[in-house]
Amino acid sequence: MRTRKWGKAGERLDPIERQKRLRELAIKRNQAEARQKRDLEEGLRLWRAGKLIPWRITFALDAIEADGPEVDIACGAREPDVDHWELGIKYPTWEQTEALSRYTGFTVPWFCIDGSPPSIHDTTLRFHLPKAQVQELECWERERVRRFLPEAIAATLAGREYVYEPTQESLW
């Protein structure tokens, strides 16, 4: 790692000050690596427990203004898998969850924090709904996609592909 040999206003650092800065940089780097490792371990535990929250995926993608097939590619998914994650009808694999985290810059545990989601009018989720259901948008305001379907989570954790079959009792 290359470090600066200069202090303030073009003054050279003495060897002791330079060693002190090198130690401080190493400490910061080690702390960041430890924090990242803890976040991944906690994220894996939460992912296995089925705690990912669909509206958080939508929020994160909106925050970085990401949409379209490039999101699926970046997350190691096939089109329209990411849309299905946002709708809560397909649960991402651990590898896809890690890729989503790297792509958006949000930690995996962040995707599991339950709280008040933003209004659907503030996200792009309304664009992922079929046109025939746009009139039911207000229902989404009340229902918000807070959880994945239990059968989608179970299938992913078992290593199976889950195919959503709409029923009368479904979200629509």
pLDDT by residue, tens only, the chain of 172 residues: 555 566 677 778 788 888 888 899 899 998 989 888 898 999 999 999 999 999 899 989 989 999 899 999 999 999 999 999 999 999 999 999 999 999 999 999 999 998 766 665 666 766 766 665 555 555 555 556 888 999 999 999 999 999 888 765 554 4
- At residue 6, φ and ψ (nearest 5 deg) are -115, 145
Q: Which pTM was predicted?
A: 0.71
Cβ pair 100, 60 in contact under 8 A:
yes
The amino acid at 165: E
Q: Which DSSP letter does residue 31 get? A: H
Residues 6+ apart with CB under 8 A from 76: 93, 95, 96, 99
